[in-house]
Structure 1
Amino acid sequence: MSSVVETRKATSKVDPVTAMKGSVKEEVPADLNIPDNYVTWTLKNQKPLPPITLENVLQNIQWLTFAILTITPSIAIWGLFNVKLRWETALWSVIYYFITGLGITAGYHRLWAHRSYNASKPLQYILAAAGTGAVEGSIKWWCRGHRAHHRYTDTDLDPYNAHKGFFFSHIGWMLFKPRYKPGVADVSDLSKSEVVRWQHRWYVWLILGFGFVVPTIVAGLWGDIKGGFFYAGAARLCFVHHSTFCVNSLAHWLGEAPFDDKHTPRDHFVTALVTVGEGYHNFHHQFPMDYRNAIRWYQYDPTKWFIWVCSKFGLASHLKIFPENEVKKGQLTMQLKKLREKQDVITWAPNVDDLPIISWESFQEQSAKRPLIVIAGFIHDVASFADEHPGGRHLITKNIGRDATTAFFGGVYDHSNAAHNLLSMYRVGVLHGGIQHGLQDKLIPPAQRLRIARYNEMGGYSSTALSDAAVSDGEGMLG
């Protein structure tokens, strides 16, 4: 997600003071006039900062962010060794961790960055205040970075590009000045929200209040001001920070890609556990406007549950859900891709087009020299199997030089799929005019009737070509 501190360069074009006076200056969308080949064009024309070395490392540190990310845990560690932790404060710290965490996940992320649902004005103020308590920048600044992340995932214009390593995507991108400026992302829609403008204007005071004052005062109700400051304030803030940062690092490293493997986002329960439900990240990057991260009832996603409960009380509405049919397409595509990988390491029957066409006379002549049998128009060399035949060698030898189609397809014994598959491996030729009418469906071994084929293996992409290929090959399609 986004950094714990915002810089002046990242602020909006709208003056928040002017906005608070009651009139919002209309912004031109930041991405309105960018070139179509924006990423390529930008990387070609934008000169990156020089690589970080030991000589220039101090000049490249973002000192304000560095201070926040080092001083806060230092305060927490000092408190751990010097202030007794009371059970009431421990419980309150956990509760406030979830409150401020939901401010980021349900508010900053799913409401404002992705507009995956509508929230009532009271809920917006609550989420804005809770998100401020996480001290990760204003809504407007945070959403600008996160939208850039989705738009330019895994490129040099992605603020937290996972290809640059786990440390970089987790925290390094905040500690050091970026080599490239993050890609353009429009947040003009957020300027119209009075809640976003309110938070942006009073952000510094709000982080002090909700980051430290509120958790300290609440703990003071049971006489533990120090515990409230060190545990519910500083320690809780460290956990919220790194919980959020895991969405940029752990969620792009641990798990599987059940919807699309084009980019690094992954799904994993462990990531969901440490990020208040943001761990099903492969789904999220495919369907970012969906208010859910986890689509199964048993998957851990307290943010989804929170939004759903709010909708039942009239605090949230228009919860967006991506069409289930399209979600299943993504899942099926990846399942077929995995099956194709397994399929490609299996040895299949010879391609029909690669087999020689042999006359009946030639077949009988060659059968006198080696054990050849015709079944369903194919000539099979059964030398390696004759002694292994479950019914005995005699059933093989009596059909050498003959057409055993009737016997094989149930005349004597209704052979299993395994037998059909194995038989196809012994094909050595095609009998000229030997395919009997009504046996066309027997040409394809059972294991290959649902064989996965890419569109370019089926004679083209037109619907007619695909239909013809599917009928003639008996193969399914993986695009």
Structure 2
Amino acid sequence: MSSVYPTRTPDVGLKTPPITPQTNQQPFAMKAKLNGKADEVPADIDIPDNYVAYTLKTQKPLPPFDWRQWHKEINWISTALLASTPIIGLVGAYYTRLRWQTALFSVVYYFFTGLGITAGYHRLWAHRAYNASRPLQYILALAGAGACEGSIKWWSRGHRAHHRYTDTDLDPYNAHKGLYWSHVGWMLVKPRRKPGVADVSDLSKSSIVRWQHKHYVGLMLTMGFLVPTIIPWLLWNDARGGYVYAAVLRLVFVHHSTFCVNSLAHWLGEAPFDDKHTPRDHLITALVTIGEGYHNFHHQFPMDYRNAIKWYQYDPTKWFIWTMQKLRLASHLKVFPDNEVKKGQLTMQLKRLRQTQENLAWPQDSNDLPVVDWDSFQEQSTKRPLILISGFIHDVSDFLEEHPGGRHLLVKMIGKDATTAFFGGVYDHSNAAHNVSFSFIPCLAVPCR
């Protein structure tokens, strides 16, 4: 997810890709820029195959945060908005009675603006997980503006960089830098380096995205503060309550709900599909992010319109998109093939099984054991309790008193072949018995011939 407002990034490294060595010609992106259409040309059209390594090597980040120059390091726009809203909201709530109509409206408006981010900014525009009709696009663009997290174009550019460069220094909210950093820290200080290149040329072709980007500040103030204040004022004469609860405090909850997708979703939970990177799945994260908590699945299958694939998992955003399809306001909902999803799950299950297997004690390889004849087995059985099972000799000294069937059944088989009795003649032993027999009883375990 993304910031509350576009932040300035350090101008480090190259602004445009180098001249293509194969053709020795000016890159196509530069040609388009000269023609005035640079925003509709893919930003990554000319990047080299080793872009990540090359960028990290050649584009040096800003020096570490300097407390002596802290006032120059702070991103004041984001800091002011993130710090002022909870203060204004809490002080306002202390002096403002919460009416039930305003409380209900605040919750509804929270989900409205939250869905503008999750169903609009995130799944529709950043990942193109489905198609939306123009009316629905306008609604989501307005709702997203009310969340005060930047324009669609700016937000999607950062989020696409996050997916492409997850957990690297080119990821704007790299989870490896800590929970606080990925939650809000990356917005409070000037970033140390420019995020990795990410293409949003497809969004630049959208008239709705261009309209929202151009008028973003006005739309943000209108949808973020004016509308949630005016509606309670007009309907039940509670402008003050509308401003405090539906505008300011609602905005605090929307912000930190969104930020939890960057932080909590990369820290809490399990990785049932892939553990290469930090994204995790957890119900708690889903509850506080309007369904974006099944983040491990999302990072594996980002173009799937769902986050939760089970019907009972909490994902209001998925339900909203599905409902819009039934109302014919959305179409072409993308779903990753179930067979491929199960492959990812099986891969992780097998990996966990291998890790478990490596921590278990297994029998010695029979090829490394000495071979004894029957007479030697008979002779040694007179000195200690040895029993033959499936060609392997077992010393049952420490198991005589522990045998569930009783000591006598083992004693009478000392110096004999107990294979038939073991495999159903007397008792058809369980897998656990087989494992104990071949793994945990002190034994010679030597083949007899």
Conserved? CA contact 1:218–1:228, under 8 Å? yes
Cα distance in 2, alignment partners of residues 63 and 182 from structure 1:
19
SS of 1:373's equivalent in the other structure is strand
Partner residue, 1:468: none
SS of 1:247's equivalent in the other structure is helix
- 1:39, distance to aligned residue in structure 2 (A): 2.1
Conserved? CA contact 2:7–2:75, under 8 Å? no
Partner residue, 2:338: 324
Partner residue, 2:211: 198
Cα distance in 1, alignment partners of residues 37 and 195 from structure 2:
26
1:26 and 1:374, CA in 2 relative to 1: closer, same or farther beyond 3 A? same
Structure 1: which 5+ runs fail to align? 14-22, 435-479
1:78 and 1:412, CA in 2 relative to 1: closer, same or farther beyond 3 A? closer
Q: Does 1:142 align with 2:158?
A: no
1:24 and 1:312, CA in 2 relative to 1: closer, same or farther beyond 3 A? farther
Cα distance in 2, alignment partners of residues 393 and 214 from structure 1:
83
Conserved? CA contact 1:375–1:408, under 8 Å? yes
Q: Does 1:258 align with 2:272?
A: yes
SS of 2:363's equivalent in the other structure is coil
List per-residue Cα deviations over 1:421-444 (Å, max 9, x = no partner). Answer: 222134524425x5xxxxxxxxxx
Partner residue, 1:17: none
Cα distance in 2, alignment partners of residues 148 and 209 from structure 1:
29
Q: Which of the residues 76, 91, 100 maps onto 1:63?
A: 76
Letter in 1 for 2:187: M
Q: Does 1:123 align with 2:139?
A: no
Paired positions, count: 423
Q: Does 1:305 align with 2:319?
A: yes
1:90 and 1:410, CA in 2 relative to 1: closer, same or farther beyond 3 A? closer
Partner residue, 2:20: none
List per-residue Cα deviations over 1:104-129 (Å, max 9, x = no partner). Answer: 00000000011111111110111001
SS of 1:363's equivalent in the other structure is helix
- 1:164, distance to aligned residue in structure 2 (A): 1.0
SS of 2:114's equivalent in the other structure is helix
Partner residue, 1:235: 249
Conserved? CA contact 1:24–1:191, under 8 Å? no
Conserved? CA contact 1:133–1:211, under 8 Å? yes
Partner residue, 2:3: 3
- The farther-off stretch of 364-373 and 184-193 is 364-373
Q: Does 1:409 align with 2:386?
A: no
SS of 1:380's equivalent in the other structure is strand
Conserved? CA contact 1:358–1:429, under 8 Å? no
Cα distance in 1, alignment partners of residues 375 and 347 from structure 2:
48
Q: Does 1:431 align with 2:444?
A: no
Cα distance in 2, alignment partners of residues 401 and 175 from structure 1:
78
Partner residue, 2:19: none
Partner residue, 1:339: 353
- The farther-off stretch of 398-407 and 138-147 is 398-407
Cα distance in 2, alignment partners of residues 183 and 62 from structure 1:
20
- 1:266, distance to aligned residue in structure 2 (A): 1.6
List per-residue Cα deviations over 1:121-175 (Å, max 9, x = no partner). Answer: 1101110010011110010100010011111111111111111111111111001
After TM superposition, the score normalised by the length of structure 2 is: 0.88
Cα distance in 2, alignment partners of residues 107 and 337 from structure 1:
36
Cα distance in 2, alignment partners of residues 237 and 163 from structure 1:
27
Cα distance in 2, alignment partners of residues 393 and 4 from structure 1:
74
SS of 1:273's equivalent in the other structure is helix
- 1:369, distance to aligned residue in structure 2 (A): 3.3
Cα distance in 2, alignment partners of residues 9 and 47 from structure 1:
13
Cα distance in 1, alignment partners of residues 311 and 261 from structure 2:
21
Partner residue, 1:267: 281
Letter in 2 for 1:274: V
SS of 2:394's equivalent in the other structure is strand
1:80 and 1:389, CA in 2 relative to 1: closer, same or farther beyond 3 A? closer
Question: Aligned Cα RMSD in Å?
Answer: 2.3
Partner residue, 1:157: 170
- 1:401, distance to aligned residue in structure 2 (A): 3.1
Q: Which of the residues 99, 107, 114 maps onto 2:127?
A: 114
1:416 and 1:272, CA in 2 relative to 1: closer, same or farther beyond 3 A? closer
Q: Which of the residues 40, 46, 59 maps onto 1:27?
A: 40
- 1:69, distance to aligned residue in structure 2 (A): 1.5
Conserved? CA contact 1:100–1:130, under 8 Å? yes
Partner residue, 1:75: 88
- Provide the identity percentage: 70
Partner residue, 1:437: none
- 1:194, distance to aligned residue in structure 2 (A): 1.0
After TM superposition, the score normalised by the length of structure 1 is: 0.83
Partner residue, 1:459: none
- 1:309, distance to aligned residue in structure 2 (A): 0.3
Conserved? CA contact 1:5–1:136, under 8 Å? yes
Partner residue, 1:45: 58
Conserved? CA contact 1:357–1:429, under 8 Å? no
Cα distance in 2, alignment partners of residues 353 and 323 from structure 1:
45
Cα distance in 2, alignment partners of residues 4 and 175 from structure 1:
10
Cα distance in 1, alignment partners of residues 424 and 243 from structure 2:
82
Partner residue, 1:219: 232
Partner residue, 1:465: none
- 1:249, distance to aligned residue in structure 2 (A): 1.1
SS of 1:384's equivalent in the other structure is helix
- 1:298, distance to aligned residue in structure 2 (A): 1.5
SS of 2:388's equivalent in the other structure is strand
Cα distance in 2, alignment partners of residues 8 and 178 from structure 1:
8
- The farther-off stretch of 114-123 and 213-222 is 213-222
Cα distance in 2, alignment partners of residues 309 and 392 from structure 1:
65
Conserved? CA contact 2:75–2:188, under 8 Å? yes
- 1:8, distance to aligned residue in structure 2 (A): 6.4
- 1:413, distance to aligned residue in structure 2 (A): 3.1
Letter in 2 for 1:349: P
Letter in 2 for 1:51: P
Structure 2: which 5+ runs fail to align? 17-35
SS of 1:289's equivalent in the other structure is coil
Cα distance in 1, alignment partners of residues 325 and 173 from structure 2:
32
Partner residue, 1:450: none
Conserved? CA contact 1:132–1:207, under 8 Å? yes
The aligned runs of 1:100-111 (5 Å cut-off) are 100-111=113-124
